[in-house]
Structure 1
């Protein structure tokens, strides 16, 4: 029969958010290295990125799971605003059992048009691993830009090559922020927060984890 300390420890671990089981620093890619990574503050998504000032390019790997029953994920740069409208999106879509990468111009809330983007994109690809979809790409950003507006989503079904609208939950509406470029270096940087009034998402989770570990340690010596 399990001891009381063990049972209490397992109960505490069950309270920890699922996102703590996988952070960007634990994610590895075959033949791909990135200088920075962020646990994005909404939707359990992750961004790995390297900014190259010499040619004003940003190499990215975006990792997320689709919405329940869904078949697409997306990461975008918005050159003109901070929200979804105007976003230039990279999408991974499951079409006929395969995951493919496409680009979409998000000109309105109900207008998602497959098209070339307003900036150059190269080395675009997508795959699926361990229940997540992953988008890989390099994009051109404005010369000497200090930051870009980013938007990310996890979506629903795919009809042909057309992604259906994503859920309209609070997290979906808040999945936007500023990605700092010039501060990037050789170690992971803090997760970009929501555009206004938000705090980094994992700060409270880390405190919960630390408390759980300390309590488990005290219980094991009883």
Structure 2
């Protein structure tokens, strides 16, 4: 009997350990202020739920937005958009929780993609607004008048971090953050999830990442390798120069498109990542200077200033490659891309670096042998002249 009990205990423990722990369903959650809500819905992403009471006679809704596992020094927001499905026009309720354990709730109308959730009045009446922080949960309580008595509205929710100076940092661009929107029917309780399709903003960011990865991160290093290692082979003649110029020119044109898409994202979608943006502008300035100097100011090989041109060309070129690789990797982090893509790019760069090392060794061997052969020929010629 004891052995049977031990077996049962073992399997029970195994089930407890292996079955994943899920968050508490919204209908089981009890608020500390003893408020009861007639309806609730577990939202599909960001570990959030929405609770509400709808009063048909007055068109007023009492809501509680419940965000679990909230981080210290973070903000959460829940918003409805009475006019469209987009971000612009959303009327948001914001709660800011700081590291000193204080929490503040306020309203913020979103009128620009560059919003930092400034405090302001909404387009409809708000009667009560408060927020609480309990056991890692940030809860926003609000009562408001449904605009035009619409009971079906578009809604969205977000979370982000708070800087040390108190400013709200932009939210992440992870898949969960990009799918935190839908529609809600306050009468039937029906809540629709975000569609799985990629919206235009996500598509534009992906295009921006692809263009810059291909141009700055892959083609330009390959172009540098062409210029570095092909010119030592006499049989190629001037072919190495044409290949080098063609590769770098095409990479520069693609980079211009990637740079333009980045400026558009920053200006129209309000997305600003200062280090990434500054390095991107620096890269475009360096590449533009490199092109202008290479095309219009390149002296002939026997010119006395050619050595200074070479120094400038090498320094700017290798600096551009180093900054470009760093910025591409930074871009992967900003986009919260799957690790597979970042690892694939790192594998590509490591492969190119390995090939470069091998070619460097071959080049030095080739140059040294060529130099020894030339010295031997010169000594033979001198010997013949002396005899």
Structure 1 residues without counterparts, runs of 5 or longer: 184-188, 199-222
> Whose strand proportion is higher, 1 or 2?
1
Q: Is the 8 A contact 1:66 1:72 kept in 2?
A: no
Paired position in structure 2 for 1:176? 181
Paired position in structure 1 for 2:60? 57
Alignment equivalent of 2:15, drawn from 2, 9, 12:
9
- CA offsets per residue over residues 62-120 of structure 1, 9 Å max, x none? 11046655411111111122132321110111244311101112223321321111111
Judging changes above 3 Å, is the alpha-carbon distance between structure 1 residues 109 and 67 closer, same or farther for their aligned structure 2 residues? farther
Judging changes above 3 Å, is the alpha-carbon distance between structure 1 residues 194 and 83 closer, same or farther for their aligned structure 2 residues? farther
Match of 2:47, SS?
coil
- CA offsets per residue over residues 145-180 of structure 1, 9 Å max, x none? 230111111211156554211111111111001110
TM-align CA RMSD: 2.3
How far has the Cα of 1:49 moved from its partner? Answer: 0.5
> Whose helix proportion is higher, 1 or 2?
2
**Which moves more between the two structures, 46-55 or 150-159?**
150-159
Alignment equivalent of 1:45, drawn from 48, 52, 76:
48
Equivalent runs, 1:1-222 vs 2, <5 Å = 3=7, 4-13=10-19, 16=20, 18=21, 20-29=22-31, 30-65=33-68, 68=71, 70-95=73-98, 96-111=100-115, 112-158=117-163, 162-183=167-188, 189=189, 192-197=191-196
How far has the Cα of 1:143 moved from its partner? Answer: 3.9
Match of 1:61, SS?
strand
Q: Is the 8 A contact 1:156 1:164 kept in 2?
A: yes
2 CA distance for matches of 1:67 and 1:83? 25
Structure 2 residues without counterparts, runs of 5 or longer: 198-387
Q: Is the 8 A contact 2:78 2:93 kept in 1?
A: yes
Q: Is the 8 A contact 1:39 1:45 kept in 2?
A: yes
2 CA distance for matches of 1:21 and 1:182? 26
2 CA distance for matches of 1:86 and 1:162? 22
Q: Is the 8 A contact 2:96 2:104 kept in 1?
A: yes
Tell me which of the two structures has the higher relative contact order, counting C-alpha pairs closer than 8 angstroms and 6 or more residues apart. 1
How far has the Cα of 1:182 moved from its partner? Answer: 2.5
How far has the Cα of 1:139 moved from its partner? Answer: 1.1
2 CA distance for matches of 1:161 and 1:117? 23
TM-score, with structure 1 as normaliser? 0.76
Match of 2:45, SS?
coil
Paired position in structure 2 for 1:210? none
1 CA distance for matches of 2:172 and 2:72? 11
Matched residue count = 188
Detail structure 1 runs of 4+ shifted over 6 Å in the superposition.
none
Judging changes above 3 Å, is the alpha-carbon distance between structure 1 residues 195 and 168 closer, same or farther for their aligned structure 2 residues? same
Structure label with greater radius of gyration = 2
